[in-house]
A = this chain, B = another copy of it.
Amino acid sequence: MKTMFQYNWLVREEWYRWCEDIPVEELLRVRTGGVGGILHTLFHIADVEWSWIRALQGKPDFQESFDGYRSLEKVRQLDASFRQEVVEFVQSWDESMETLPLYDMQNDGKFTGHSWGEIMRHVIAHEIHHIGQLSVWSRELGKKPVSANLIGKGLIKPKL
C-alpha cells in the first residue's frame, strides 16, 4: 500500500519535470481520452487523491475546477499543498483500517458503503491508469514518456 503511493509520487514528480520541456499550449491542449489533457490529468490526479483522503477523514474535499490552475506551476503548488496531509494519512495506515466503512450517496439517493482499503487501492489504480494515458499523448507529441517501471526505484530493498 505505502509502496504504491510512494511509486505514484515519484512517477508524478518525474512527469512534472517532463512537463518543464513542453510548451504550455501543448500541456493545455484538449486531447482524446481521460480528462482530455496533460496538465488537466495531473491536476485531476492530485485532486482525486486528496479528495478521497479528506473523505476518509470526514473532512470537506477539494471542489475547484481546473480553470483556476492552468499552468504547471499552479498545479505543482496545489499538489504540494495537499501532499503533507496525504503522506501523513498513508504513513498512519494499518491493517485495522482495511474494512472500515465510508458511506457514499449514489445517484438514486441510496447509501452504499465502501471499505477504506478498497478506496485506498482505488486511489492508487486511478493515478496509474491516468499516467498510462499521458504516456500515449507523450508519444503523440514525439516525446519519450516517463518510465512506468516500479522496479529499480529502491522502494523495497531485497535481503541479499
Contacts and interface: CB of A to CB of B under 8 A. Distances in A.
B157 A121 contact: no
Contacts of A34: 132, 135-136
A17 interface: no
Interface in A77-126: 98-102, 112-119, 121-122, 124-126
A28 interface: no
Contact of A117 (B115, B121, B138, B156): B156
Contact of A118 (B33, B98, B151): B151
A128 B148 CA distance: 10
Contacts of A112: 152
Contacts of A136: 32-34, 132-133, 136-137
Q: How many copies does the complex hold?
A: 2
Q: Which of A32, A99, A119, A136 has the most CB of B within 10 A?
A: A136
B118 A150 contact: yes
A4 interface: yes
Contacts of A138: 33
Contacts of A132: 34, 128-133, 135-136
A100 B158 contact: yes
A99 B156 CA distance: 7
